[in-house]
Structure 1
């Protein structure tokens, strides 16, 4: 199936995959309830399943247009309702002029990328701090006040590459998140310490990207020094170092926010294959520099014992280990895919999984990997709920596979940190529910209340998901079905749920603007809140 040209995709929340189709549905764009209409203030029973509205005031949200698999409804449904009520219907996106579509789409994309949850986020501050440290060290080296760095500038570039690799290593971060939960997930640990740790761990992408840029700066400096002492090195070393620098620059340019957002597949493939090539060249660089003898201008000096004595060797070995690890654990496993509707698919796997973990799946071993939240009772099996909005997720509905590639290490992201707290409200819209269902299906350290705002629970997500929720106590699960009750102000719902539950924090999974609205409303009410960021 060819991917539509107007479909964009990116990932967040360390596994909450955002797939965006600009501009179609308008999330949270609700009609104001007619005066005297109290239909949304009573509990509505649908068979054995309770649809329980939480907020009584369904005010219009200020969220801007964005389409996401966590969205509530399609634009066509909005148009039909407006036509039926006699409202003036805006011109559909498909019929607008290209210039209008481009202008509104670009505005929305730039808003998500550049203004995601503010200009001074933890992510951006971590980037600034890490980059500043590198710049200061580099300036000291250039001015002669840091002779060790001047002598081993290439080694400092490797150090940054190692740091950025660890910040994206799913196995390494699984251990880090586990340690954070074990160390800080105790009742006596102050809440501000827990929230600070959550912000830091969620924003490690800032260190990753900063180290990428810094590695380029250090390698440029190393090359300049090498060219200044051209007689002490070989042509091969210069060529290999230059090739590594070119690949690092290419990866940085492909990861630039606007490029990454508009051309995600290009970014992903460039990052992966350029990274692998750079790693191979890095090994060549280490071997050549260790083995080269400037006095004889030959490589007669290369010995295994000398190689393993070098810090560069161990840094490169560690980088290689963490890059290879997820690929050597990948395997092709049998799956059962059910399709409750044209909007979603449910993929079932063997083996129970701890609450809060996420997984990656693919039809191909080398590319097109997609991350999803895992639903599991922690016992016999687990499953993923995939909203059908992109080429890959749509293919799961139209052409359900019998086998998929999976990675053996399930990774931890923001949802896993729910285990750090005592009382938490989880807010989800649409297919975003998949990240949180495990917390009500299995015993967890945190007491959670789940608030789910969606359209047509059984019609879109199937009887199995409906029954999972209907078996839970009403005080723990609040479902607002927009097909019955209309769209609420989700931010207000989240604040009221947190106050009623006496929650320490709110964790939300919605589209970017929806998550931002909930976080801002909770913070304004004095309630810490976290949601997906663009590059967590």
Structure 2
């Protein structure tokens, strides 16, 4: 079946193998496809001059989505109070309830093992942010077990929970620090009766201060406005806190409250919960750093706004990578573009957003540091679904192109300004070679002189393609607008979190 394409909104819907079987259904699909194409031509449009002025930078390019009337307050609340915040609320509230019960002296375990409760929470917090644990103990087994066959509501729930597992990270981290406060306060309250030496009291305070620095550096405002401060303090104060926790665990275990003397007994130490929690935290933190490698890269700059970084060997769909000029400092996470593990290369698209990314263009390095252990991201969960749509703006293509290239049941919608000039021929060659024209839409707002009616386009493709879910990679405002629109129209959708 031949389908005419609009001149600049290239690609429309479906390969022939994916079309409905009956002639009636085929006719309906053809009608929908033409409606999608027509919608890109008939939407109200500003002048070309206004469009070019509005989208002359990479940041503006990410604003290439049409604006809509704000949805209901309830819809906006549901998008805002996402599973991340739900996970945080549950984890933190349970800890606070437990601490209140412990303060009433009705929970003897908490009185005697407050340090174990604190370290148990911190262990959960580290695990929920650890590349190794998440990829091999959360993402991979759940996707392998439940992909495609299980009920859609269950797959949607799992996707929301796994993607937003960072809420447990934040909730347990805050809960663990609260338990450390409880522990230190209790230690001071009973230090006379227990003959607690000053070194134990002092080290408890030091550990508490360092851990609070880690938490302060990770607050959303600091992450958003002072990312380098967040990274340096969250990482190095985090490493320091692990050392201090070990010292605190060893000191506390070696002091005998009955004799009032220190003793050294490795046999007793390894039997404590605190020892195994501290060991597990250390191992989890250390594993990804053992995979850091200095690798050769080729950097091309198709425009002053974008650097295309080429690495050796192919990568499976759904994985993301961290790169840096230094072995220990300023790692940046990016989506990975690759045609598959059989390919001889993979790519990262770095849009200019700060000094580090700008330096890739003004002073392109020959080598970069990266962790060979890549971490699973939201696109990895695309395997859950029978059909889906990946919609992105600008450099958001870096997170989802591999999904639409490697998975035949995913549709690509890419919206941007002067896209081929901005991003170069590599991406467009990959799209044209690997994705059937019926399975993508490329909308260049500069060529069109306007923004598309994005929600109409998305609704039409969602219905015609029989999609189960939409993955969105836009800027925060665009992501929120599209998610609100999807929820209002009964379409399941997920987008990036900007929480790390």
Match of 2:61 in 1: 72
TM score, norm. by length of structure 1: 0.79
> 1:453-501: per-residue Cα shift (whole Å, max 9, x none)?
1122321111121111222211111101112112213233222221221
Structure 1 residues 179 and 66: CA distance shift in structure 2, 3 A: farther
Match of 1:489 in 2: 453
Aligned pair partner of 2:170 in 198, 209, 216? 209
> 1:12-36: per-residue Cα shift (whole Å, max 9, x none)?
xxxxxxxxxxxxxxxxxxxxxxxxx
Aligned pair partner of 1:344 in 299, 306, 320? 306
Structure 1 residues 230 and 327: CA distance shift in structure 2, 3 A: same
Alignment of 1:460-471 (within 5 A): 460-471=422-433
Q: Secondary structure at the match of 2:388?
A: strand
1:384 & 1:186 partners in 2: Cα distance? 29
1:253 Cα deviation after fit: 2.3
Aligned pair partner of 1:315 in 274, 277, 281? 277
Matching of residue 166 in structure 1 with residue 119 in structure 2: no
TM score, norm. by length of structure 2: 0.84
Matching of residue 240 in structure 1 with residue 203 in structure 2: yes
Matching of residue 456 in structure 1 with residue 418 in structure 2: yes
Matching of residue 369 in structure 1 with residue 369 in structure 2: no
Please identify, of 416-425 and 453-462, the stretch whose mean Cα deviation from structure 2 is larger.
Answer: 453-462
Matching of residue 519 in structure 1 with residue 483 in structure 2: yes
Q: Secondary structure at the match of 1:470?
A: helix
Structure 1 residues 480 and 66: CA distance shift in structure 2, 3 A: closer
Matching of residue 276 in structure 1 with residue 261 in structure 2: no
1:240 & 1:208 partners in 2: Cα distance? 25
1:74 Cα deviation after fit: 9.1
Unaligned runs of 5+ in 1: 1-40, 76-114
Task: Count matched residues.
Answer: 448
1:349 Cα deviation after fit: 1.1
1:259 Cα deviation after fit: 3.0
Q: Secondary structure at the match of 1:332?
A: strand
CA RMSD of aligned residues (A): 2.5
Q: Secondary structure at the match of 1:417?
A: helix
2:91 & 2:381 partners in 1: Cα distance? 24
| Higher-helix-fraction structure | 2
> 1:196-228: per-residue Cα shift (whole Å, max 9, x none)?
111111111211111121112111111121112
Alignment of 1:55-134 (within 5 A): 55-56=39-40, 57-59=42-44, 71-72=60-61, 118-134=79-95
1:296 Cα deviation after fit: 4.1
2:250 & 2:110 partners in 1: Cα distance? 20
Structure 1 residues 439 and 119: CA distance shift in structure 2, 3 A: closer
Structure 1 residues 359 and 71: CA distance shift in structure 2, 3 A: farther
Matching of residue 192 in structure 1 with residue 162 in structure 2: no
Unaligned runs of 5+ in 2: 14-35, 47-53, 65-75
1:254 Cα deviation after fit: 2.4
